[in-house]
Amino acid sequence: MPLYRICYQKTGPASYLSHLDLMRVMERSVRRAGLPLAYSEGFNPHPKMAFASPLPVGISGEEELADIELGEEVAPDMLREDLNRYLPEGLSVRKARPVEGGGRSLMAQVQKAHYRLTGSLDGALTTEELDLVIQKLLARESISVTHQVKGKTRTLDIRPGIMSLTGACRGEVVELLLTAAIGVRPRDVLSALVDAGLPADVDGFTPVRLALGGAGPLY
């Protein structure tokens, strides 16, 4: 059966959809558009849709990815246009293409994410001063964070997962560009940056996931 990869935006009110809600909304929109969605076999058939790395609730995504298997071939432009007629505010398909052959799942191909983090500073800071704070953070051999996962406390070293971090200041506004391995949370990087000397409140930042990356092109 033909497989299609869609690149979509998840912004505004849609950014507050959980991953499970997103899957339900996408399935409903595909069915309302009259597209021949394929289903698994067995006693509990489920739609053949696969999403890339789940986006945390409240974070917008500019180029999110999902694979959708259909029962018959559809022109990619028609797939995009038909889906966009029924997707709710904040969700829109930017482009679609057929996926040739098999291989690893979409989620298995995703290795990193690119973010833009915009926030307010507690006072003005120059870009040069910001660079010194970033260099101080990146010079650390390890950056430990603690999470509660299913009732258990886990301590992780996120330093190997911070692939690049740059930024610029405009008065009391700072914009950071972060590339991090999947599993590294932008909030944890921001917290570490504040500990390194950035005069800001982590809660005052707005994160946007710009794109996902892998060893090769994902779209």
Residue 95 pLDDT > 80: yes
Q: Which of 55, 73, 108 is the last residue of a domain?
A: 108
Q: Can you tell me whether residue 32 is helix, strand or coil?
A: helix
Specify the 3-state DSSP secondary structure of 43: coil
pLDDT at 68 over 90: yes
Q: What is the pLDDT of residues 129-170, one digit of tens each?
A: 999 999 999 999 999 999 887 888 989 999 999 999 999 999
Q: Does 184 lie in the same domain as 103? A: no
Q: How far is CA 25 from CA 20, 72, 91, 100, in A?
A: 9, 21, 10, 26
DSSP strand pairing (144-149 vs 91-99): unpaired
Maximal CA-CA distance, the chain: 61
Picking from 219, 207, 215, the residue whose alpha carbon sits closest to that of residue 56 is: 207
Does 121 fall in a domain? Answer: yes
For residues 67 and 133, state if they share a domain. Answer: no
> Is residue 103 domain-shared with residue 124, that is, in the same domain?
no
Q: Are residues 120 and 207 in the same domain?
A: yes
144 with 186, same domain: the answer is yes
Mean pLDDT (the chain, rounded): 94
Interval 20-48 mean pLDDT: 93
Domain end marker among 44, 78, 108: 108
Give residue 117's pLDDT: 98
pLDDT at 162: 98
Q: What is the CATH number of the domain that holds 104?
A: 3.30.70.580
- What confidence tier does 11 reach under pLDDT thresholds 50, 70, 90? very high
211 pLDDT higher than 80 = yes
pLDDT of 102 above 70: no
How large a percentage of the chain has pLDDT more than 90?
86
- Indicate the DSSP class of residue 56: P
Please give the distance of CA 17 from its chain centroid, rounded to a whole number.
13
Strands 200-214 and 110-121: antiparallel
pTM of the model: 0.93
Whether the per-residue pLDDT at 93 is higher than 70: the answer is yes
- What is the CB neighbour count within 10 angstroms for residue 37? 17
Identify whether 55 is part of a domain.
yes
Compute the distance between CA of residue 155 and CA of residue 219 in angstroms, rounded to an integer.
Answer: 34
Contact 117, 207 (CB under 8 A): yes
Residue 81: domain span: 3-108
Residues 59 and 155 in one domain: no
Residue 219 in domain: no
pLDDT(217) > 90 = no
CA distance linking residue 135 with residue 36, whole number of Å? 52
Exposure of 103 in the CB half-sphere (CA atoms within 13 A): 11
Higher pLDDT, 57 or 102: 57
For the ranges 76-80, 109-113, 121-125, the lowest mean pLDDT is seen at 121-125
